[in-house]
Amino acid sequence: ADMAHSMFGAARSANAEELLSRVVDSFVGVSVEDENHGIALNYCLYHTRHHSFPDTDPYKVNDALDALRERLGIHAQLEKQEALEMLLGRFGQLPWPSDVPDIHSRVRAAAA
C-alpha cells in the first residue's frame, strides 16, 4: 500500500476509536478511567471494523425495539423498559442535521 493510503487508514482508525470511545463513555456509561472501558471499546471496534451498514428499514427497527421492550417486560426489567422508552423519546426529539435519509432509524437500529 502506498503512503497516502496507510496514512488515511491510520487516521480513519484513530478517528473511529475516538468516536467509539465517546460512545462507550456516553451511551454505555463506562468512563475512560474504568477498567471495563477498554473491553467495551474493543467490542465496539471489533463489531464495526468490517461491517457495512445497509439501508435501514424503519419498520424492522421498530419491530426489533418492540421485541426488546417485550423481553424486558417478560423478565420484569420494568425500570430498564421505562428507561429505554425515555431515551428513545428523547432521541426522537433531537434535531439531527444530516443528509442521510431516516437517520433516527439508523441510529436506533444500533441500539436494538
Q: Is the per-residue pLDDT at 112 higher than 80?
A: no
Q: Over the stretch 75-91, which tens digit does the pLDDT of each residue have?
A: 888 999 999 889 888 87
Instruction: Give the HSE-up count for residue 20: Cα atoms under 13 Å, Cβ half-sphere.
Output: 20
Give the model's pLDDT for residue 79.
92
Asked if the model's pLDDT at residue 4 lies above 50, the reply is: no
- Estimate the share of the chain in helix, then strand, then coil, as percent rounded to the nearest 5: 75, 0, 25
Q: Is 108 exposed, middle or buried (0-12, 13-18, 19+ CB in 10 A)?
A: buried
- The predicted-structure confidence for 27-84, as pLDDT tens digits, reads as follows 888 889 988 999 999 988 888 877 666 666 778 888 888 999 899 988 888 999 999 8
* pLDDT over threshold 80, residue 24: yes
